[in-house]
Amino acid sequence: MPRVAYEEAVDIICGALGPLGDEYIDLSRAGLTSERWVDIYPNQGKTNGAYSGGGYDTPPYILMNYDGSLVAMSTLAHELGHSMHTLYSCRNQPPIYANYSIFVAEVASNFNQALMRDHLLRTSQDRDFRIGLLEEALSNFHRYLFLMPILSQFEHHAHQMAEQGRPLGADAMSAYLAERFRAGYGPAVTVHTERDGLQWAQFPHLYENYYVFQYASGIAAATALAAQVIAEGEPAAARFRQFLAAGASRYPLDALYLTGVDMTSPAPMDAAFAVLDGYVTQLEELLG
């Protein structure tokens, strides 16, 4: 599997973000390097995973456990998207409007990944690198467009059970989630109730009501925005920067609508699945 050193990943990400303009790139590069936003590498006693945080009067901070994999590079681009969203929002909004919603947060992060993938698939001719990149993309799209919507159905069912006074037992919840997996994946995938049905237990997101569906809406909106920026250049990039700067000063659907993305329409989701289909086709061609 191809490996990418952290310094090279910074160069790749900043190169991919070129359409967003010099200010965005300069802020991104400084944050990833000299401004030390990122706790980069795994360490003894350090929590795992990745996360972007920060306060209104502080720089953004990024928790990473960078291991040189393509997944880690994509995760770094994702978390940088969150951090740049926070930076633009806090610089342009008063505190009351700086803390944007999850619905738009997952747009900014996935947007960075979309630009990075497009850039690398257009510029890299290395077969193994392209295969690794497509595998990372497919894994990410699977998580956001399949796993998270199925978890969202499970979550809604659990709330309905609670409202009806029905017990939320582990066996019943696992059986329902396994049923949703079977409906979502079809007969080609074998689902084990005891193992696959228990996946609800590994997602703390479910303690934040109706969080997980926003991963699917986020990647759909991000894919649509990235396509605009790639096709139009600066006019679309300017709309995206305005979207970041809006923070919570507009309702999420309104903020996205001003960028040209209508999330009340099925078009963004259809376009995201079309991109996924394109990734599958490219991988099949590479694998022969």
How does the average pLDDT of the chain come out, rounded?
96
Q: How confident is the model at residue 2 (pLDDT cuts 50, 70, 90)?
A: confident
Q: Which two tokens stand for residue 203?
A: 């997602």
Q: How confident is the model at residue 1 (pLDDT cuts 50, 70, 90)?
A: confident
One-letter identity of residue 222:
A
The separation between the first and the last C-alpha atoms of the chain, rounded to the nearest angstrom, is 18
Under DSSP, is residue 61 helix (H, G, I), strand (E, B) or coil?
strand
Phi, psi of 52 (to 5 degrees): -115, 135
CB 83 within 8 A of CB 62: yes
Q: Which two tokens stand for residue 195?
A: 């193992």
Phi, psi of 17 (to 5 degrees): -85, 10
Radius of gyration of the chain (CA): 19
pLDDT at 34 over 80: yes
Check if 79 is active-site: yes
How far apart (Å, rounded) are the C-alpha atoms in residues 147 and 141? 9
One-letter identity of residue 97:
Y
One-letter identity of residue 111:
F
List, for residues 114-145, the tens digit of each pLDDT value.
999 999 999 999 999 999 999 999 999 999 99
Q: How confident is the model at residue 152 (pLDDT cuts 50, 70, 90)?
A: very high
Catalytic residue from among 7, 8, 23, 79: 79
Q: How confident is the model at residue 17 (pLDDT cuts 50, 70, 90)?
A: very high
Prediction pTM value:
0.94
Structural domains of the chain sorted by starting position, each given as residue range(s) with its CATH number in brackets: 6-139+213-287 (1.10.1370.30)
How far apart (Å, rounded) are the C-alpha atoms in residues 156 and 135? 30
Mean pLDDT of 35-55: 95
- Which of the 8 DSSP states describes residue 165? T
Mean pLDDT of 208-212: 93
Mean pLDDT of 55-68: 96
Q: How confident is the model at residue 236 (pLDDT cuts 50, 70, 90)?
A: very high
pLDDT at 288 over 90: no
pLDDT of residue 280: 98
pLDDT of residue 284: 97
